[in-house]
Amino acid sequence: MAIKLAALLLLVYSQLVLSFKQGDSIPIYYNKVFSLQNQLSYSYQSLGFVCPTTFSRKKSLLVFDQDLRGDRLVESNYKINFLENQDCKLLCKQSWSVEDAIQVEELISNDYMVEWELDGLPGATVSYTNEAPEHNYRIGFPLGFKKGDSTFINNHVIFQILYAADKDRFGHYDIVGFEVYPDSIAEGECTKKNVEYEYQQVTGRRTQVSFSYSVQWKQVKENTRWEAFLMKPNPDRHFSSLLNGVIVVMVVLAIIAIIFLKTVRKEVGSTGEDKDFKIYDDADDFVGWRLINRDVFRRPIYGGLLTPIMGSGIQLLTVAVGLLVCLQCGWYHPAQPGSLTRWFTFLFLVGSVPAGYWSARVYKVFRGKSWVLNSILTAFVVPSVFIVILFATSMMNWTQQSSLAISFSGWASLISIWLFILTPLTCLGAYFGEKAERIEQPSRTTQIPRMIPKKRWHQLSVIRILLGGIVPFAVVFLNWHELLNSVAKGEYVLSIDYTIWTSVLLLISTAEMTIVLIFLQLCSEDYHWWWQSMMIGGSPALYMFAYGVFYYLQKSSIQGLVGGTIYLVNLLIGCGLIGLCTGTLGFASSYIIIRRIYGTVKTNH
């Protein structure tokens, strides 16, 4: 049943683009107002100063994918028919109280933007920058503006809807753009043809405001809906950064190759084919790893906790690889609202099967007693941490009456998927993992643990963890900076190709650095590498979080305690997911290499 539900979930994720013919009615949906300064968004329909609507909320199948973005889609009363222009059409005359006027002035002072939706496209304004001279879209339009000491509301909007011919259906067209140009027009000024006209001022008294709109249609040749939302970054900077990353990865790969050559050379010497091996061995500073062959596979402390965490990391690796493949194939677009959340959810459900499988197999290596308990922990330990964080954040947003607070139906959907799809799939994978043959270690473990020599300062665990994250963070730094910049400015600065290659280099460099540092740890006769490999692999996320905090303090325009808390919590969740993903990769790569080394080399100790 769980597999059928997951398959059904994939089918409903396909976002079909509707085609229209002349005269078709097209609804516009109210969504939200949002600000980049305080990170709080509010349902547009909940505002008392806007034109009301008689429709109810339009919910997605998951619901929580909308809630996480603060979306509250409600069909409006705008009357739009395909290919029919309209000019200065009155929507409503809304009476304002003094409280409404105060609220409007406060929202405009905080630079609030309005986001509506038409045919799945968010309403956008056109922006031009020095980095991208061609036109790009910026989601939303200003609620109003200030001029001197006066505040004005944008009570008139011009909808310019871009369309292109449907190649598959003659006489039908696809909507490819939804541009919104706001204006402030005083009562009775809309129909006048004067170049200069009065603005609709926000006053601190009871008044009546007219809301109106115009509709324009524009045919274009390009049948692309989302490319205009992406601002292309500087290609020279990205190419040089990518080239440096490739060079660093190749250098670390050469170091790993040298390590393997050393182990093979020692093995040749031990069989008597290298008569000078003893002299070479005596001069070698990296011989300690051969002395701990009876302890290197000793069960780690809290191994019953390591396997569930590792299993969740396998899920996230599945998500990461799956998202990169989907991005390359064009199955989803970063600018498309909700597409990332939907694909993440589906891939996370798919990844629960290998998560349970490998968690059970490693748990079996640790001689665990209850694979059922381990599978339950795999499905609950990591997800429950993030659920608690989401709940706390949602409660804070609820106290602020923000639309970012997850609704009851959103929680019901999230918990249902967690309990009735993810958990059974994890247990299914764990069942097959338990039935699989036990992974036998290359060397047996003694009953008495070997004493670990006293470490020098550079051999401390914290030093290795800090060193392990430098190279991967350097590889991904430029993309990470641009991502934070996009969040702060509300613009998507992204190159899909560079993002994919940088992500691949991040994973490779993380695995390589973990292997090298764990080998150096073994050389110092420290065989507690299980947890250490997980932490070294996850260390790039520490640097990413630290830089995110630095960016917030020094470069962002986010204001207020609530806005800062929302930013930092989202940063913590994102870096936590990345750290768990790369940490599991570091653990897996170290385990494979260590098994390879101790399976190849014959030791006499």
* Integer Cα distance of 326 and 247 in angstroms: 27
pLDDT band at residue 279 under the 50/70/90 scheme: very low
**Can you say how many angstroms the Cα of residue 104 is from the centroid of all Cα atoms in its chain?**
33
Lowest mean pLDDT among 174-183, 212-221, 376-385, 448-457: 448-457
From the list 216, 183, 211, 178, the residue with the least C-alpha distance to 84 is 216
Please report the pLDDT score of residue 267 as a whole number: 53
Q: Which of 482, 550, 218, 548 is CA-nearest to residue 334? A: 482
pLDDT (0 to 100) of residue 315: 97
Can you give the pLDDT at residue 266?
Answer: 57
Tokens of 56: 């109810």
**Phi, psi (degrees; rounded to nearest 5) at 74:** -135, 130
Give tens-digit pLDDT for 513-527.
999 999 999 989 999
Is the pLDDT confidence value at 604 over 70?
Answer: no
Average pLDDT over residues 591-605: 78
pLDDT tens-place string over residues 469-487? 999 999 999 999 999 998 8
Tokens 């299980």 identify what position?
Answer: 530
What are the boundaries of each domain within the chain?
22-224, 233-273+456-605, 300-440
Rounded average pLDDT over 296-311: 95
Give 318-386 as a 3 state SS string. HHHHHHHHHHHHCCCCCCCCCHHHHHHHHHHHHHHHHHHHHHHHHHHHCCCCCHHHHHHHHHHHHHHHH
Q: What does the radius of gyration of the chain's CA atoms come to, in whole angstroms? A: 29
Q: Please give the average per-residue pLDDT across 292-315, as a whole number.
A: 94
Q: How far apart are CA 535 and CA 529, in angstroms?
A: 10
pLDDT at 40: 92
Cα torsion at 73, 75, 78, 82 (round to 10°)?
90
Q: Could you read off the pLDDT of 55-68 as tens digits, one per residue?
A: 888 888 888 999 99
Q: Give the mean pLDDT of 238-255.
A: 89
pLDDT band at 169; cut points 50, 70, 90: confident
Task: Please give the pLDDT value at position 335.
Answer: 84
DSSP letters for 38-79: T--EEEGGG-TTSPP-S--B---SSSHHHHTTT---EE----
What is the chain's length? 605
Q: What is the mean pLDDT of the chain?
A: 88
Where on the phi/psi map is residue 588: left (φ > 0), alpha (ψ -120 to 50), or beta?
alpha
pLDDT tier at 491, thresholds 50, 70, 90 = confident
H/E stretch holding 497 reads: helix 496-523
Which is more confidently placed, 545 or 260?
Answer: 545
pLDDT at 283 (0 to 100): 40
- Residue 463's pLDDT band, with cuts at 50, 70 and 90, is very high
pLDDT band at residue 172 using 50, 70 and 90 as cut-offs? confident
Alpha helices (runs of H) in 438-490, residue ranges in sequence order: 461-468, 470-489
Q: Between residues 488 and 421, which one has the greater pLDDT?
A: 421
Contact indicator for 161, 175 with CB cutoff of 8 Å: yes
Cα separation, 387 vs 384, in Å, equals 5
The tokens for 147 are 């001029």
Burial class (CB in 10 A: 0-12, 13-18, 19+), 282: exposed
Residue 334: which pLDDT band, with cuts at 50, 70 and 90?
Answer: confident
Q: Check pLDDT > 80 for residue 195.
A: no
